[in-house]
Amino acid sequence: MSLGRAARIQASLALAFFLGGCAVTAAPPSGGFVPHPLPGDGGDTVPALLRGERAAPLRYRVIVVPGSGCAGMGAFADRYFAGLLHAQVLVLHKPGVDPQARTAPGDCARSFVQQDRLSSWLAHARAALRADARQQAGGPGVPQLLVGISEGGELLAALAPEVPRLAGLVLLSASGLDPQEAGALQAQRLGVGADWAALGHAQAGQAPDGTVLQGRSLGYWRDLWQWPLAQPLIQGPWPLLQVWGGGDALVPAAAYERFAERARGRAAPFCARRLDGADHGLQRGPVDGVQQMWAWTEQWARAPQAGLCGPLAAAQP
């Protein structure tokens, strides 16, 4: 696909949802997390981070699948997960990602970009979770939450069966729609639907998977165009909690609202909270929406009989 400079700039804006990673404000280096490598698929290593509970007693575990890009969460993990007081926290990273790296999405190594795709990330994350389950066997047996941040949310439905004692799924700044549908809505919002359609045409062509277009490999786009998410999430038996920002520039409100409309018919509990004015990183001025989210999970852990959606229902204005 050949695009002029102006078209490339427009398309890059339309595709920012897939390139943005997990946006956070600057923070000091982490002090509580330690490297906890886990085996990935095919002999690769998933460079995970692990932190114990910050306050006794241990009530639950949180397993995190971060957003896109080649930066790690290690540099800001201590602050980002500070509100998880009674939880052990496990953060997975893609093979080849240094958890302490702060590389901008547009500066990822070409070798990383050519190999990065949802299907391979799913295979690595699945292998890592199976290894984690083996390590946890015989442990305290606390309930676990599986959290997907932005792109990480696209793996949750497929990874859920790998998590013992799964108490629920949490989507942070992740629409829940199939990513191709969410991307089309973002392109429509920005008026660059033709660029999105051209990318769809390119991924359906014969060029090799390693060909890079719009900052991603064709293998990535081919996975994304066929990736099922909404229906597996809706049909899944796990409680589902979703938090998103009303000022999110990377995922349109229409995508969140469309998924919520479909998910209202779930047999399992579903709850969603829009944080007015919050951006893709759930920040709105001095208010940190991520910490608000953890406050809700802490409330749930203290009174699990109310259900994962109980704290959001109690906090409704």
pLDDT tens, position by position, 212-252: 999 999 999 999 999 999 999 999 999 999 999 999 999 99
pLDDT value of residue 26:
36
Asked if residue 307 has pLDDT above 60, the reply is yes
Where residue 175 falls among pLDDT bands split at 50, 70, 90? very high
- The continuous run of DSSP H or E covering 225 comes out as helix 218-225
Asked if residue 5 has pLDDT above 60, the reply is no
For tokens 């997975």, what's the residue? 92
pLDDT value of residue 154:
98
For range 166-173, the mean pLDDT: 98
Whole-number average pLDDT of the chain? 91
Please say whether the beta carbons of 97 and 67 come within 8 A. no
Q: Pick the range with the lowest mean pLDDT from 106-110, 120-124, 158-162, 178-182.
A: 106-110
Size of the chain, expressed as the number of residues it contains: 317
Rounded-to-integer distance, Cα 211 and Cα 114, Å: 7
For range 112-126, the mean pLDDT: 97
pLDDT value of residue 315:
78
Asked if residue 20 has pLDDT above 60, the reply is no
Where residue 139 falls among pLDDT bands split at 50, 70, 90? confident
Question: CA-based Rg of the chain, rounded to a whole angstrom?
Answer: 19
- 3-state SS, residue 139: coil
- 3-state SS, residue 268: coil
- CA 119, 120, 121, 126 torsion-angle sign: positive
- 3-state SS, residue 291: helix
- The continuous run of DSSP H or E covering 240 comes out as strand 240-245
Structural domains in the chain, CATH included, are 5-315 (3.40.50.1820)
Rounded-to-integer distance, Cα 52 and Cα 178, Å: 34
Roughly how many angstroms between the first and final C-alpha of the chain, as a whole number?
A: 49
Q: Specify the higher pLDDT residue, 285 or 25.
A: 285
pLDDT value of residue 314:
82
For range 201-217, the mean pLDDT: 95
Where residue 317 falls among pLDDT bands split at 50, 70, 90? low
For range 245-270, the mean pLDDT: 97
pLDDT value of residue 92:
98
pLDDT value of residue 313:
87
Rounded-to-integer distance, Cα 174 and Cα 164, Å: 23
Question: Which tens digit of pLDDT belongs to each residue from 90-108?
Answer: 999 999 999 999 999 889 9
pLDDT value of residue 216:
94
Please say whether the beta carbons of 41 and 244 come within 8 A. no
Asked if residue 16 has pLDDT above 90, the reply is no
For range 113-117, the mean pLDDT: 95
Question: Among candidates 256, 235, 190, which has minimal Cα distance to 12?
Answer: 190
